[in-house]
Structure 1
Amino acid sequence: MLDQSSAYNRAGRPACTELRLKSQEKVLEVDFADGKAFRFTAEFLRVESPSAEVQGHGPHQRTYIGGRRHVNIIAIEPVGTYAVRLKFDDLHDTGIFSWEYFYDRGHDQDELWARYLAALEERGLKRDPR
């Protein structure tokens, strides 16, 4: 369990109450104070990382990364009481994954995944590594 002093954060999103890394499944489960729970594949979190490498520094700078189908999370490091840094086995570790990020992406996961797959196809990229 995560120690949360409030059930909701400043943005009005429910506090994260638990993270569970399922390494064998390559899944991170995230539970919230409002009872919602989301399952994220490591691949999804890697390709949707909030890092500048993926998101860029402004609108229209988004980078689409292929070849991450088999990526896994190898470490989770707390960042204050509001986020974690995930380290992936491809050594990406620059994204700060806030509770808001998990909550919002959890709700939009299907749409974001479909957009990612379409972007890969447009760019001639594949999910599998070369």
Structure 2
Amino acid sequence: MADDATWPTELRLSPDGRTLTVAWGDGTRHAITAELLRVESPSAEVQGHSAEQKTVVPGKRNVTIRDVQEVGSYAVRLVFDDGHDTGIYTWPALRRFGEEGDEMFRDYEEALEAKGLRR
């Protein structure tokens, strides 16, 4: 079992659904945008089954999270207003979003630009 420091102590969705804030047992807090969570969803629809199959998801600048659903004691499923609800966000995945989110978002913007797509 993971130690308490790597376990979320709070998940809070902003009133507008644009930010998920995660508080961790070690005192760290991360505010993660719905857009990043949606475009980097851990679902097969987005990630594919290999790096070559990953989809660059455009047009999600204004996406919001409608619901946060517990999945056992290890993850949450996020339901987005565009209907996407197949990603299971484990605690380690959410921690990665929090810690590496800026870099992930830069990579996403570069991938959009390379394909001539827009947020």
Q: With structure 2 as the length reference, what TM-score do the two structures score?
A: 0.94
Rg: which structure is higher? 1
Q: Figure out how many residues of one structure are paired with residues of the other and give that number.
A: 118
What RMSD over aligned residues (CA atoms) do the two structures have, in Å? 1.4
Unaligned runs of 5+ in 2: none
CA distance in 1, matches of 2:69, 2:118: 30
Alignment-mate amino acid for residue 38 of structure 2: R
1:125 is paired with a residue of what secondary structure? coil
Task: Select which of 32, 37, 40 maps to 1:40.
Answer: 32
Task: Select which of 99, 107, 110 maps to 2:99.
Answer: 107
Partner of 2:47: 55
Partner of 2:109: 117
Alignment-mate amino acid for residue 111 of structure 2: A
Between structures 1 and 2, the one with greater helix share: 2
| Offset from partner CA, 1:29-56 (integer Å, 9 cap, x none) | 0011011111111111000100001111
Partner of 1:84: 76
CA distance in 1, matches of 2:109, 2:66: 24
1:35 is paired with a residue of what secondary structure? coil
1:68 aligns with 2:97: no
- How far the C-alpha of 1:75 sits from its partner, in A, is 0.9
CA distance in 2, matches of 1:59, 1:26: 27
Q: Moved runs in structure 1, 4+ residues, more than 6 A?
A: none
Q: With structure 1 as the length reference, what TM-score do the two structures score?
A: 0.86
Unaligned runs of 5+ in 1: 9-13
Alignment-mate amino acid for residue 116 of structure 1: Y
